[in-house]
Structure 1
Amino acid sequence: MMAKQRTNPFILLFLSLFSLACILPFWLVLTVSISSENEITRDGYSFWPKTVDLVAYQYLMQDSGNILRAYGVTIFVTVVGVIVSLFITSAMAYTLSRSDFPYRNALGFYVFFTMLFSGGLLPWYLVYTRFLHVQDTLLALILPGLISGFNVFIMRTFFTNSIPPSLIDSAQIDGASEYRTYFSIILPLSLPVMATIGLFTFVSYWNDWFTSLVFINNEKLYSLQYLLNKTLMNAAFLQSIANKAYSNTANVTQPLESIRMAMAMVAIGPLVLVFPFLQKYFVKGLTVGAVKG
């Protein structure tokens, strides 16, 4: 009977230290969010708060209704955006990966060109407001992030290297149409790259605040990141007014640093929950696409 192979202790030590290095920043953000502003100003950041102060979370909870609504808007925009983005990106990438597509080079250059040059902020704004008329709608939060040339090329490379042409030829010989081949064969074999690009797109939609700043005036359609950023700006404004009003006496301190960290804790939750479900696909990506001899 073969003896069980022992794990190298140095590998375990390295992985343990690496895991600790990943956890420490998260822990630091949490401790700063529950520390008092005076303590942060006096002693700087600390991995353990001397006194627990939840004033930052109390400040945010004063606007809990708007935060929950912004959570709903961001979740809806992110879920719809990721699904539609994956479909469009995978369809274009699959088209570019087919060597028999006659306009492959021209379309590939068009996608590549968008990675190098853009029309600028003003034309971007005019297209969505004057031609598409999506300002103050959820479409304004979804459409700008639907497709990325970088993601298209990553997915195209996966299709080219991991999907054997013989598999596509076999499907066509069996009578499968292009749509049937794409939906029944290509997409099921592409779960690893779909999960990877989906995670990139998820993070992009979830962290987006600039689109709301440009296109959204209706407070009911604010995204979570934009609402939290606006809350922080309001706190900083109140701090500056208080400092001017009490310039001859003791300054009134707003918990700006702890509010900033509390906002990070409020916004990071879904990202922490989503990643473990996608992690298995990253591991599976090492073997998917292999061709049996």
Structure 2
Amino acid sequence: MKAYTISDKLVAWLAYVCIGLFVIAAIIPFMTIVSTSLTDEQYIRANGFDIFPHAITLDAYKYVLGRGSSILGAYQVTLFVTFAGTAFSLLLTTMMAFALSRREWRMSVPISFFVYFTMLFNGGIVPWYIVTTKYLHLYDSLAALIVPYTINAFNLIVLRSFFSTIDNAIFEAARIDGANDIKLLFNIALPLAMPGLATIGLFYSISYWNDWWLALMLVSDRELYPLQLLIRAITSNISYAASSGVNSSIAAAAIPKEGVKMATTVLTIGPIILLYPFLQRYFVKGLTIGSVKG
């Protein structure tokens, strides 16, 4: 059994201290957000923000959830876009990444270069808008919130590199047993690449969940508004009412502005936080589970 020296213990304790400080730095802002969403607006104006709630009230949540069908509809749109978009993006990204990782395919290097090129240069917003609306006909549809983000070049390159780390002897043995490319991908590569798939899936789900820009550009029907865009509209209306005229200012004064901002933050980040515990275990697994033995 290995004997731990004083220096090893010191390094371990320093690592624990650094991790503890990082956890505290991450938790305090979140506690402040939750606390502010539950604190009376008058107390916030008089005393500022605190990590613990004071003069507890649910006025901010009542104001946000008082939109009823709008909030519920936005949640449904966002949930559908997140789940469908993540599944669709993972499927296409996985297939393309696996193809580009195969060394025997001559076109893998040129196509990988074109994928990387899109990370450095793009055509701009105007050409992108013309393509998505005039040629792809994505305006005012749920597809408009999914298709433009289907394949992310960075995620594709990361997953391609992940597939490249799998021992090629595994695929050669499967080919000897009669496996084709489809079986190599779904029966061999995917089970070994679960940590990478979980990571890329998390990236895609966060991207779809937090996005409001696509809806702002491609959606005019409020029934298709995702949660992020609807909440952006709510907070913008509060700020506009507070700065536009005496009567509007008096009406806006009754609205818990800071509480509403924090309540909307809690409502939007809550579901995505719950996703982390289910994917955490994949981050610590080996890259080639069940690899070829000696």
CA contact (8 A) 2:98 2:160 kept: yes
**Deviation of residue 239 (structure 1)?**
1.5
Amino acid paired to 1:268: I
Deviation string 1:176-195 (CA, Å, 9 cap, x unpaired) is 11111111111111110000
Shift of 1:40: 2.3
| TM-score, normalised relative to structure 2 | 0.90
TM-score, normalised to structure 1, is 0.91
Matches within 5 A, 1:208-227: 208-227=211-230
Distance 1:240 1:55 in 2: 21
Percentage identity across paired residues of the two chains: 41
Matches within 5 A, 1:230-249: 230-241=233-244, 244-245=246-247
Other-structure match for 2:22:
18
Give 1:45-56 correspondences, 5 Å limit.
Answer: 45-56=49-60
Structure 1 residues 113-158: Cα deviation after superposition (integer angstroms, max 9, x where no partner): 1101111111111111111112111000000111111111111111
- TM-superposed deviation, 1:253: 5.2
Let me know the Cα RMSD of the aligned residues. Answer: 2.4
CA distance in 1, matches of 2:20, 2:231: 34
Task: Encode CA deviations 1:196-243: one digit per residue, 9 max, x unaligned.
Answer: 0000000000000011111111111110000111111111122123x5
Which SS does the other structure have where 2:284 is aligned? Answer: helix
In 2, Cα distance between equivalents of 1:264 and 1:292: 49
Cα distance change, pair 64–285 in 1 and its aligned pair in 2 (3 A): farther
Instruction: Quote the residue 1:276 is aligned against.
Output: 277
How far apart are 1:252 and its partner, in Å? 2.9
- Alpha-carbon deviations, 1:76-123, whole Å to 9, x = none? 111111111111111111111111101112101110111011111111
C-alpha distance in 2 between matches for 1:206 and 1:133 = 23
User: Equivalent residue of 2:208, what SS?
Assistant: helix
Report if aligned partners of 2:38, 2:60 keep a CA contact under 8 Å in 1.
yes
Amino acid at match of 1:93: A
- Measured in 2, the distance between the counterparts of 1:95 and 1:185 equals 14
Conserved in 1, the CA contact under 8 Å of 2:238 and 2:252?
no
The within-5 A match list for 1:155-166 is 155-161=159-165, 163-166=166-169
**CA pair 278-51 structure 1, distance change in 2 beyond 3 A:** same
Partner letter of residue 62 of structure 1? Answer: G
Rounded to whole Å, the distance in 1 between the matches of 2:288 and 2:15 is 23
Unaligned runs of 5+ in 2: none
- The change in CA–CA distance for 1:244 and 1:232 in structure 2 (over 3 A counts) is same
Matching of residues 47-126 of structure 1 within 5 Å:
47-126=51-130
Partner in structure 2 of residue 172 of structure 1: 175
Alignment partners' CA distance in 2, 1:235 and 1:103: 54
Distance in 2 (alpha carbons) for counterparts of 1:246 and 1:177: 68
| Conserved? CA contact 2:97–2:160, under 8 Å | yes
AA at the equivalent of 1:89: T
CA contact (8 A) 1:239 1:253 kept: no
Task: Give the Å deviation of 1:290.
Answer: 4.8
Q: Whole-Å Cα distance in 2 between the matches of residues 204 and 237 of structure 1? A: 28
User: 2:290, 2:204 → 1: CA distance?
Assistant: 23
Instruction: Go from structure 1 to structure 2 and tell me whether the alpha carbon gap of 1:131 and 1:286 turns closer, same or farther (over 3 Å shift).
Output: closer
- 1:197 aligns to what SS in structure 2? helix
Shift of 1:20: 2.8
Give the conservation status (yes or no) of the 8 Å contact 2:193–2:287: no
Q: How do 1:144-159 residues align onto structure 2 when only pairs under 5 Å count?
A: 144-159=148-163
Question: Which residue number corresponds to residue 266 of structure 2?
Answer: 265
Q: Which of 180, 192, 205 is the equivalent residue of 2:195?
A: 192
Query: How many pairs are equivalent?
Result: 289
Output the CA distance in 2 between the equivalents of 1:251 and 1:261.
Answer: 17
Tell me if 1:203 matches 2:206: yes
